[in-house]
Amino acid sequence: MSAANINLAEIVAADIGHHFHPFTDHKAFHLEGGPRVITHAKGVWIFDANGQKYLDAMSGLWCVNIGYGRKELADAAYRQMLDLPYYNTFFKTTTVPATRLAESVASVLPERFRQVFFVNDGSEANDTMVRFVRHYWSLKGKPYRSHFIARRRGYHGSTMVSASLGGMDSMHGQGGLPLPGFHHVLQPNAYEFGGDLTPDEFGLMAAAEVEKKILEVGPDNVAAFIGEPIQGAGGVIIPPPSYWPAVEKICRKYGILIVADEVICGFGRTGRWWGFETMGFNPDIVIMAKGLSSGYQPIGAMAVADHVIAEFFDKGGEFFHGYTYSGHPVAAAVALENIRIMKDEKLVEQGAKIAPYLKSAIAGLADHPLVGEVRSMGLIGAFELVRNKATRERFEPVSRVGLLCRDHCFRNGLIMRACWDTMVFAPPLIIDRAEIDHWMVLTRKALDLTLEDVRGEMG
């Protein structure tokens, strides 16, 4: 729907009247006059009901990897809805798109991943994984292996279990989380915690924290370690190259499963199909959502390596788990078309090819007085806002300056997100050089305006 077709005042009033939004301070939302209404999008651009155009350097919520406005995906949904709008995949039944999608997902994973379980989003994928892994250890006669180790500031979703896996204090502060059996270790953020260590020394130190936690919980009690190859919502934490191989070695030493949460990193985000390929480790289970359908339909999945799934095939017995919409035919048809486009148009390669251009463009921001560090891998990255570049000192209170900068971006037609005082980005893989140039002009403007706001506080 284009901006011309809506009555904005009416939509805003209805939204305030009836729509309880996720991740929102509802009092502030009402005081500030309600929502920004997004009406349509094309490529890397989104448009609001006032006709303002924004460069979406976040791909929505890190998900619209192929960019907005691909008619082929709409056609796939339309055709599937006419043929078969719904049927389930319980009780030895399937639909053609669900089966074809499982095959297609397996085709872009390493060969050992041949079995794919469908869910509706990343949170459900992680909930599914926890039930699956605990049942796996029961089948192996070790039901006491039920604990999970994850990282602080990891993000794995918003359900009770996935938020317990996550390491977000703000989320744990609501609803009595984490649930028992979920443990968190230091995130491999060299800028924040590396001090004088070289990145690789710090990576090994952060990996050693995983081993420490395993020993504390008891190696025989630990079911799995889960991590995003690059932590997204935690502030785009790109671990030093030494980190993941060391974590892998530790997990193998104690027979602990490794789960790669690829909800953000998967489907080309880091320059290869999977973040574990970029970061150099070999998971046993892969969690995906977002880029699986480029956000055009809600769908997620858990892919399991042969040596793990073998337990289910050998021992048998029903796995009492699934969702009404597991492998929903319309979502599956759309995801299938998304992967076809990504393969045929070589979008992963295209993203990898433009990535160095983006890297050097953002490197150009490093001379700005507010910018403490810039970093990126493929088409995901961040820059730090600091009060003092030499000492890496932050502004007080935390998050204030990040939000100032984010709002200046918004007002000037750019969408980036602030994770505390870290500005993060993850543009569609189809972004081109001219769009990156335009994005950098807007970023510098937002930084300059933010600097005006805080000039008196600079260290």
Ligand X SMILES: Cc1ncc(COP(=O)(O)O)c(C=O)c1O
Choice between 158 and 412, CB closer to ligand X: 158
Nearest in space to 12 (alpha carbons), one of 34, 45, 42, 40: 34
Q: Taking the complex as a whole, how short is the minimal distance between the CB of residue 297 and ligand X, in angstroms?
A: 12
Position closest to ligand X via CB: 122
Q: Taking the complex as a whole, how short is the minimal distance between the CB of residue 60 and ligand X, in angstroms?
A: 10
285-314 footprint of ligand X as x/- string (CB under 6 A): ----x-------------------------
Q: Is 266 near ligand X (CB under 6 A)?
A: no
| Candidates 77-85, 227-235, 269-277, 315-323; binding stretch for ligand X (CB under 6 A) | 227-235
| Candidates 6-14, 258-266, 316-324, 336-344; binding stretch for ligand X (CB under 6 A) | 258-266
Nearest in space to 297 (alpha carbons), one of 80, 136, 12: 80
Task: Return the C-alpha torsion angle 42, 272, 359, 241, nearest 10.
Answer: 150
Quick one: which of 151, 153, 156, 387 contacts ligand X (CB under 6 A)?
156
Q: Is 127 near ligand X (CB under 6 A)?
A: no
Quick one: which of 122, 266, 402, 428 contacts ligand X (CB under 6 A)?
122
Q: Is 155 near ligand X (CB under 6 A)?
A: yes
Q: Is 233 near ligand X (CB under 6 A)?
A: yes
What is the CA 407 to chain-centroid distance, rounded?
A: 22
Cβ contacts of 161-165, under 8 Å, gap ≥ 24: 161/126, 161/127, 161/130, 162/122, 162/123, 162/124, 162/126, 162/127, 163/123, 165/126, 165/130, 165/226
**Helix or strand or coil: residue 68?**
strand
Q: Is 421 near ligand X (CB under 6 A)?
A: no
Q: Is 275 near ligand X (CB under 6 A)?
A: no
Choice between 263 and 339, CB closer to ligand X: 263
Q: How many residues does the chain have?
A: 459
Q: Is 263 near ligand X (CB under 6 A)?
A: yes
Tokens of 72: 């082929």
What is the CA 422 to chain-centroid distance, rounded?
A: 16
**Helix or strand or coil: residue 95?**
coil
Q: Taking the complex as a whole, how short is the minimal distance between the CB of residue 298 and ligand X, in angstroms?
A: 7
Question: Residues near 261 by Cβ (< 8 Å), separated by ≥ 6?
Answer: 122, 126, 154, 156, 226, 227, 228, 287
The residue type of 12 is V
| Candidates 95-103, 108-116, 122-130, 441-449; binding stretch for ligand X (CB under 6 A) | 122-130
The residue type of 66 is I
Q: Taking the complex as a whole, how short is the minimal distance between the CB of residue 63 and ligand X, in angstroms?
A: 8
Q: Is 232 near ligand X (CB under 6 A)?
A: yes
Report H helices in 237-346: 243-253, 275-279, 306-315, 329-344
Instruction: Please count the other Cβ atoms lying within 10 Å of the Cβ belonging to residue 306.
Output: 13
Q: Taking the complex as a whole, how short is the minimal distance between the CB of residue 417 and ligand X, in angstroms?
A: 11
Choice between 184 and 408, CB closer to ligand X: 184
Q: Is 264 near ligand X (CB under 6 A)?
A: yes
Q: Taking the complex as a whole, how short is the minimal distance between the CB of residue 452 and ligand X, in angstroms?
A: 32
Instruction: Report whether 64 contacts 56 (CB < 8 A).
Output: yes
Q: Is 121 near ligand X (CB under 6 A)?
A: yes
Instruction: Please count the other Cβ atoms lying within 10 Å of the Cβ belonging to residue 322.
Output: 16
Choice between 122 and 351, CB closer to ligand X: 122
Q: Taking the complex as a whole, how short is the minimal distance between the CB of residue 276 and ligand X, in angstroms?
A: 13
DSSP labels, 267-289: TTTTSSS-HHHHHT---SEEEE-
What backbone torsions phi and psi does residue 373 show, to the nearest 5 degrees?
Answer: -155, 145
Q: Applying CB under 6 A, what is the total number of residues that bind ligand X? A: 15
Q: Is 157 near ligand X (CB under 6 A)?
A: yes
| Candidates 34-42, 49-57, 151-159, 414-422; binding stretch for ligand X (CB under 6 A) | 151-159
Instruction: Please count the other Cβ atoms lying within 10 Å of the Cβ belonging to residue 282.
Output: 15
Q: Is 274 near ligand X (CB under 6 A)?
A: no
Quick one: which of 48, 209, 211, 228 contacts ligand X (CB under 6 A)?
228
Instruction: Report strand pairing: 222-227 vs 257-261.
Output: parallel
Choice between 55 and 289, CB closer to ligand X: 289
Question: Taking the alpha carbons of 276, 58, 354, 340 in that order, is the dihedral positive or negative?
Answer: positive
Between residue 21 and residue 80, which ones bind ligand X under the rule CB under 6 A?
A: 61
Choice between 233 and 246, CB closer to ligand X: 233
| Candidates 120-128, 251-259, 316-324, 410-418; binding stretch for ligand X (CB under 6 A) | 120-128
Choice between 122 and 188, CB closer to ligand X: 122
Question: Taking the alpha carbons of 117, 148, 225, 420 in that order, is the dihedral positive or negative?
Answer: positive
User: Rounded to whole angstroms, how far apart are CA atoms 50 and 299?
Assistant: 31
Residues that bind ligand X (CB under 6 A): 61, 121-123, 126, 155-157, 228, 232-233, 261, 263-264, 289
